[in-house]
A and B are shown apart, each in its own frame.
Chain A
Amino acid sequence: TQLLEQSPQFLSIQEGENLTVYCNSSSVFSSLQWYRQEPGEGPVLLVTVVTGGEVKKLKRLTFQFGDARKDSSLHITAAQPGDTGLYLCAGPFGGTYKYIFGTGTRLKVLA
């Protein structure tokens, strides 16, 4: 059972386009994190959202935590080739320091 479902799995777009990726769960999370993983490297944290309804911006990336804290979205405005990578959401699970990761969205931005 996958607690965190991400969609779409794959996305290939042209430079300059906008896109949204989603991270959904039937469970409530106290927080969700978003990571980006580039080829040949480990994931790197982009942001943590903690409060239901919270919106955080990181340059052209906008992250939102759902009001019920069961879902999150990542919107990229005017995508650039440097945004290419695997985007992962993750949340704490089980009252410990364990984190559950989503299956990921693989984004390719074409120049």
Chain B
Amino acid sequence: DVKVTQSSRYLVKRTGEKVFLECVQDMDHENMFWYRQDPGLGLRLIYFSYDVKMKEKGDIPEGYSVSREKKERFSLILESASTNQTSMYLCASSLGRGFNQPQHFGDGTRLSIL
């Protein structure tokens, strides 16, 4: 089974802090994604990566950056955390080739910015 592991289930940070969310997958997947999930808005894509050191902006990249130095690890960075970034963050991975590949999700990080 594919395992996508997010480093923290719950995280509390202060406004203005630099925040790192880590995600690791163990199935050699090429694609990795970061979403945020908010009530009534569904899952919204922040960034995705289709290869090491490659990244593309999703629908809501403002205030975020990402890093993918190794194939198995995809990090989401909040450069200067703000209260409107309080949310559930979900990491996902997929095999690559083809558009019908399932996405495998981690269990999420619930981030609160005070």
Say whether A associates with B. yes
Residues of A at under 8 Å CB distance from B? Answer: 2, 9, 30-31, 33, 40-45, 48, 50, 88, 90, 92, 96-104
Besides A43-B103, A96-B50, A97-B48, 12 more A-B contacts (Cβ < 8 Å) are A33-B102, A40-B108, A41-B108, A42-B107, A44-B105, A45-B104, A88-B43, A92-B100, A97-B101, A101-B42, A101-B44, A103-B42
B99 and A103 contact, CB distance less than 8 A: no
A92 and B42 contact, CB distance less than 8 A: no
B45 and A99 contact, CB distance less than 8 A: yes
Interface size on B, residues (CB 8 A): 28
Closest beta carbon of chain B to A47's beta carbon, Å: 10
Cα-based distance from A102 to B44 in the complex (angstroms) = 9
Closest beta carbon of chain A to B7's beta carbon, Å: 14
- For B75, the chain A residues whose CB sits under 8 A away are none
Contact with A along B59-93 (1 / 0, CB 8 A): 00000000000000000000000000000001010
Given A31-B100, A50-B100, A97-B31, are A43 and B45 neighbors across the interface (CB < 8 Å)?
Answer: no
- For B100, the chain A residues whose CB sits under 8 A away are 30-31, 33, 48, 50, 92
- For B99, the chain A residues whose CB sits under 8 A away are 30-31, 92, 97
- For B56, the chain A residues whose CB sits under 8 A away are 96, 98
Closest to B91 in A: A42
**B interface secondary structure, majority:** strand
A98 and B45 contact, CB distance less than 8 A: yes
Cα-based distance from A101 to B38 in the complex (angstroms) = 12
Cα-based distance from A90 to B105 in the complex (angstroms) = 14
Cα-based distance from A96 to B101 in the complex (angstroms) = 12
B11-60 interface with A by 8 A CB criterion: 31, 33, 35, 40-45, 48, 50, 56, 58
- For A103, the chain B residues whose CB sits under 8 A away are 40-42
Picked from B42, B101, B102, the residue with its CB within 8 Å of the CB of A104 is B42
Given A96-B56, A97-B94, A104-B42, are A48 and B108 neighbors across the interface (CB < 8 Å)?
Answer: no
